[in-house]
C-alpha cells in the first residue's frame, strides 16, 4: 500500500476506535504493510508514528489495566481544530499579514504558513476579507527571490529541528566565500533583509549572516529527530540584529545628539525610532538623542538627509560628518565651478 | 519536508473542507488548496481508496465529483481539520509581526486565541519556534488606519510633505499598501492631483479615514519605485570605490561594471535628482557621480550645504 494511503487509513482507524489498538492488531489489519520480519515491521510503524505526530495527531500508547487493554489511542478532542472565535478584525490582521508574507515569496516556513491560513479560515465562511498589502522582502536583487526563498525554507527546518548547517558564505568584506558550520538559532527580518543568527563554529561565537549571501547550504541529515544543539535560555534575536545602520555593534555605544529642522523636524520619530526627542523652544526644530554603535552608519544617513540634519555633538561625530561631507564636496567640486562659469 | 508530509496535510484538510462546503466546485477547491485541477482530481482518486479496517464498503471515505462539484457522503470522522501544528502557528504569528505595531490590539488578541487552540503539548514548542523568527518591521502607525480604509473602501485625507515643501492636504482613494526595502508606500488615486499616485507613509501627517466610500478598480497594482533599477532611461553614471564595490555588486549584479582599481560603475535613472543625490550621499564619500555634470553639481551643493557652506 502507498504510504500516504496507509497513514490516512491509520488516521481513520484510530479516530474511530473506542478502545486502544494493540500493535498485534495493527499488524493484522495491515498484513501487507506491517508483515515481514518483526524488526522491519516495527521500524516501518515507528516512521509512520513519527509522521502522525508531525501532523499533529495526538497519538499515545496506554498501558492497560483491569478496565482497558494495552494499545494505541488518540485523543480526539485534541485532534480536531476548534473554532478560535477570531473577530473580523483579528482575522483580517492575520490574513493581511500572512497572505502578504506568502505573496512576497520570501518568508521562512511558507508551507506551514499556507496551511495555517487555511486552517484559521476554515470556520470563517466563504469570503475572507483580504486587505491589499504587498511586501517585498529579503531579496536585495530582483530575480533572487527564488533562491532566498529556498534557503529560508531550509533554514527554517534546521532552526525548528535544531540541526547544524554547512554553508558557503559570500561576505562583501572578503573576496570569495568561506565555508561555515553554523548552529542556526533563528531568522530575523530587518528593513527588507533576512538575517540568520547562529553559533558559528569557524569563528567560535554568535554571528549574523544575511540569507541572500548564503551560496550553498546543507543541513545535517544524520538523526533528523535528535537536536544537535541547545539554544541558550537567554538568547534573543533582537539583541543581535540591527534595525538601522548605526546600530551595528562595531564600537562602544556613543550618545549622539542630532538637530532636525525644516521638514525633518516633524518626521524625527519615523526617521530615528527609539531616539529621545525634544522639541526646541523656538519651534520648528527637534533634538534627537540616540545610542550609536556604528558612527559611520549614522553619519552617512545624516548626510543623505541633507542640511536640515545637523550633528550637535559629541565633537567626534560632528567632525566625522564634516569630513565625509567635505570628501564628497571635493570629489564633485569641479562640477560646481563648471556650473558657475557657464 | 517530504512530499508525503505535504500531501497528508493537504488531504487531512481537503476532506473536512468538502464536508463543510458540500458541492464546492472543483476549481474553487483547487484554489483553496493552491494546487492544479489535475492534482486535485488525483488526490480525490486516492481518497476513495482510504478507509479503515476491516474495509467494508461503508468503511471507505466516500468523496466524489458530480457535475464538476465535489461532495463527501462518508467522511470517516474527518469533519474538521487537525489543529495547528507548532510550526504552522509559529509561521503565522511571525508573519503577523510584519504589521506590528500598526495592527494594535487585534494582533495581540488574535495571537492569544491562536495559542489557546493549540494542543497543550504543542504550546511550548510553538513558543520556542515563534522566538526563532523575528519579522518585526518598523511598520508605521499609519498602516493600521490605512489597512482599514482599504478594506472598508473609504477615502482618506492627510497632509503630505513633498521634498523641500511644507505639507499640503491630499484626498486619496487608497488602493494598496506596499513595502519595499523597508519603506512603506500607499498607492491610490489622488483627488488633489487627479491622478494615480504613490505616497510614502512616513511623509503623511494627520491621517483621517473619511466616510466617503469608493469602488476600487479591479486591478490597482503599483510598480514599486526603484530608481536604482537599471533601465533604458538610465542616464547617470556613478562610480564606487573598492570599499563600497562589493555592496553595490550585490545589489546590481551583472549591471555593475568592474573598474581597474577594484571599484565598480553603474548606470542609474536620472529622473529624480533628489533621490540620486541622497543615494550618492548615503555612501559617505565612497560614491561619485561621473556624469551628467548637473547631477555632479547637485551632489556637490548638497554636501556643501551639510557643512554650512
Chain B nearest-CA residue for A273: B138
DSSP-derived letter for residue B290 is E
Residue A341 has pLDDT above 50, yes or no: no
Q: Shortest Cα distance from B145 to chain A (angstroms)? A: 12
| Contact between A13 and B52 using a beta-carbon 8 Å cutoff | yes
The answer to whether B6 contacts chain A (CB < 8 Å) is: yes
Count the neighbouring beta carbons within 10 Å of the beta carbon of residue B258: 11
Please check whether residue A20 touches B, CB under 8 A: no
Residue A342, pLDDT score? 31
Percent of chain A whose predicted confidence (pLDDT) is above 90: 48
Q: If we measure between CA atoms, which residue out of A217, A233, A138, A127 comes closest to residue A170?
A: A217
Residue A241: list chain B partners with CB under 8 A.
134
Range(s) of chain A covered by CATH 2.30.30: 145-239
Confidence of residue A164 (pLDDT cuts 50, 70, 90): very high
Q: What is the CATH number of domain A247-339?
A: 3.30.70
CB B90 within 8 A of CB A112: yes
> According to the CATH classification, is domain A145-239 in 2.30.30?
yes
Which fold would CATH assign to domain A3-79? Arc Repressor Mutant, subunit A (1.10.10)
Mean pLDDT of all residues in B12-17: 96
Phi, psi for B37 (deg, rounded to 5): -60, -45
CATH number at B143-213: 2.30.30
Per CB-CB distance under 8 Å, the chain A contacts of B240 are none
Quote the minimal CA–CA distance from A283 to chain B in Å.
15
What's the N-to-C CA distance of chain A in angstroms?
85
Predicted interface score ipTM higher than 0.95:
no
Chain position carrying cell 529642522? A261
Nearest-by-CA chain B residue for A109: B91
pLDDT of residue B275: 79
Contact, A187 vs A159, CB < 8 A?
yes
In A, residues 323-342, which contact B (CB 8 Å cutoff)? 324-329, 331-336, 338-339
CB-CB neighbours of A174 under 10 Å: 10
Residue A65 distance to chain B (closest CA, Å): 25
Is B215 near chain A, with CB under 8 Å?
Answer: no
CB A165 within 8 Å of CB A217: yes
Of A146-155, A211-220, B150-159, B164-173, give the range with the top mean pLDDT: A211-220
Residue A57: partners with Cβ closer than 8 Å, 6 or more residues away: A11, A14, A74, A79, B82
Contact B132 A159 (CB under 8 A): yes
pLDDT single digits (tens) B212-238: 998 877 665 655 555 454 444 558 899
Confidence of residue B27 (pLDDT cuts 50, 70, 90): very high
The helix (run of H) or strand (run of E) holding residue A269 is helix A268-271
Residue B208: the pLDDT is 92
**What percent of chain A lies above the pLDDT cut of 70?**
93
From chain A, the residues in CB contact with B83 under 8 A are: 56, 78-82, 119
Residues of chain A with CATH 3.30.70: 247-339
Q: What is the mean pLDDT of chain A?
A: 87
**Among A120, A266, A300, beta carbon nearest to B283:** A300
Contact A329 B307 (CB under 8 A): yes
Burial of B202 (0-12, 13-18, 19+ CB in 10 A): middle
pLDDT surpasses 50 at A1: yes
C-alpha dist (Å) from residue B245 to A176, A217, B240? 14, 25, 6
Spell out the domain ranges in chain B: 3-74, 86-130, 143-213, 234-306
Most confident of A270-284, A326-340, B224-238, B250-264: B250-264
Examine the pLDDT at B38 and tell me if it is beyond 90. Answer: yes
For residue range A304-329, what is the model confidence (pLDDT) as tens digits?
998 899 999 899 999 999 999 999 99
CATH topology of domain B3-74: Arc Repressor Mutant, subunit A (1.10.10)
Decide if B274 touches A, using CB distance below 8 A. no
Task: Report the pLDDT value the prediction gives residue B95, as an integer from 0 to 100.
Answer: 87
Asked if residue A59 has pLDDT above 60, the reply is yes
Determine contact, residues A107/A152, Cβ cutoff 8 Å: yes
Residue A339: predicted pLDDT? 43
* A185-219 pLDDT, tens digit each: 998 887 778 889 999 999 999 999 999 999 999 99
The pLDDT score that the predictor gives to residue A244 is 83
Amino acid at each position: 500500500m502507498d504510504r500516504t494511503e496507509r497513514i490516512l487509513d491509520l488516521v481513520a482507524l484510530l479516530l474511530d476506535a473506542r478502545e486502544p489498538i494493540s500493535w498485534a492488531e495493527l499488524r493484522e489489519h495491515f498484513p501487507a504493510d506491517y508483515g515481514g520480519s518483526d524488526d522491519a515491521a516495527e521500524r516501518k510503524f515507528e516512521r509512520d508514528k513519527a509522521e502522525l505526530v508531525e501532523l499533529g495527531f495526538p497519538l499515545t500508547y496506554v498501558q492497560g489495566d483491569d478496565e482497558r487493554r494495552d494499545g494505541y489511542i488518540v485523543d480526539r478532542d485534541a485532534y480536531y481544530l476548534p473554532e478560535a472565535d477570531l473577530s473580523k478584525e483579528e482575522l483580517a490582521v492575520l490574513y493581511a499579514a500572512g497572505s502578504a508574507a506568502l505573496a512576497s515569496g520570501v518568508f521562512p516556513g511558507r508551507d506551514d504558513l499556507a496551511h495555517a491560513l487555511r486552517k484559521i479560515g476554515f470556520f470563517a465562511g466563504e469570503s475572507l476579507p483580504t486587505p491589499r498589502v504587498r511586501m517585498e522582502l529579503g531579496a536585495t536583487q530582483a530575480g533572487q527571490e527564488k533562491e532566498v526563498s529556498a534557503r529560508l525554507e531550509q533554514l527554517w527546518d534546521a532552526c525548528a529541528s535544531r540541526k547544524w548547517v554547512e554553508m558557503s558564505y559570500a561576505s562583501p568584506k572578503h573576496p570569495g566565500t568561506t565555508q561555515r558550520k553554523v548552529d542556526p538559532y533563528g531568522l530575523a527580518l530587518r528593513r527588507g533583509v533576512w538575517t540568520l543568527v547562529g553559533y558559528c563554529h569557524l569563528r567560535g561565537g554568535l554571528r549574523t549572516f544575511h540569507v541572500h549571501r548564503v551560496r550553498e547550504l546543507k543541513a545535517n541529515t544524520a538523526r533528523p529527530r535528535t537536536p544537535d544543539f541547545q539554544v541558550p535560555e537567554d538568547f534573543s534575536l533582537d539583541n543581535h540584529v540591527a534595525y538601522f545602520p548605526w546600530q551595528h555593534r562595531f564600537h562602544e555605544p556613543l550618545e549622539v545628539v542630532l538637530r532636525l529642522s525644516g521638514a525633518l523636524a516633524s518626521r524625527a520619530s519615523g526617521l530615528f525610532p527609539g531616539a529621545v526627542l525634544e522639541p526646541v523652544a523656538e519651534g520648528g526644530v527637534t533634538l534627537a538623542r540616540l545610542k550609536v554603535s556604528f558612527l559611520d552608519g549614522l553619519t552617512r544617513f545624516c548626510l543623505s538627509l541633507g542640511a536640515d540634519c545637523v550633528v550637535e555633538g559629541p565633537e567626534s561625530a560632528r567632525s566625522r560628518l564634516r569630513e565625509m561631507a567635505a570628501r564628497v564636496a571635493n570629489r564633485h567640486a569641479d562640477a560646481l565651478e563648471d556650473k558657475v562659469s557657464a | 519536508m517530504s512530499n508525503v508530509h505535504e500531501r497528508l496535510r493537504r488531504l487531512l484538510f481537503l476532506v473536512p473542507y468538502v464536508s463543510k462546503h458540500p458541492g464546492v466546485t472543483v476549481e474553487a477547491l483547487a484554489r483553496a488548496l493552491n494546487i492544479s485541477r489535475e492534482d486535485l482530481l488525483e488526490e480525490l482518486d486516492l481518497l476513495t481508496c482510504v478507509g479503515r479496517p476491516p474495509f467494508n464498503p461503508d468503511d471507505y471515505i466516500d468523496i466524489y465529483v458530480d457535475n464538476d462539484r465535489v461532495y463527501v457522503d462518508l467522511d470517516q470522522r474527518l469533519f474538521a481539520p487537525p489543529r495547528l501544528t507548532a510550526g504552522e502557528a509559529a509561521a503565522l504569528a511571525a508573519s503577523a509581526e510584519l504589521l506590528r505595531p500598526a495592527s494594535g490590539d487585534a494582533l495581540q488578541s488574535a495571537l492569544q486565541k491562536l495559542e489557546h487552540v493549540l494542543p497543550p503539548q504543542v504550546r511550548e514548542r510553538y513558543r520556542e519556534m515563534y522566538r526563532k523568527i523575528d519579522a518585526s518591521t518598523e511598520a508605521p502607525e499609519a498602516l493600521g488606519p490605512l489597512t482599514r480604509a482599504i478594506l472598508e473602501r473609504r477615502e482618506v485625507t492627510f497632509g503630505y510633505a513633498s521634498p523641500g515643501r511644507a505639507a499640503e492636504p491630499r484626498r486619496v482613494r487608497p488602493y494598496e499598501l506596499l513595502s519595499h526595502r523597508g519603506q512603506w508606500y500607499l498607492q491610490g488615486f489622488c483627488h488633489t492631483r487627479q491622478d494615480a499616485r504613490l505616497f510614502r507613509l512616513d511623509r503623511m501627517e494627520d491621517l483621517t479615514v473619511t466616510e466617503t466610500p469608493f469602488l476600487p478598480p479591479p486591478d490597482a497594482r503599483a510598480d514599486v519605485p526603484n530608481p536604482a533599477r537599471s533601465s533604458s532611461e538610465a542616464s547617470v553614471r556613478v562610480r564606487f570605490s573598492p570599499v563600497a564595490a562589493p555592496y553595490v555588486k550585490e545589489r546590481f549584479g551583472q549591471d555593475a561594471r568592474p573598474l581597474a582599481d577594484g571599484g565598480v560603475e553603474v548606470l542609474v535613472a536620472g529622473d529624480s535628482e533628489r533621490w540620486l543625490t541622497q543615494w550618492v550621499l548615503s555612501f559617505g564619500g565612497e560614491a561619485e557621480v561621473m556624469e551628467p555634470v548637473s547631477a555632479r553639481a547637485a551632489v556637490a551643493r548638497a554636501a556643501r550645504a551639510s557643512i554650512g557652506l
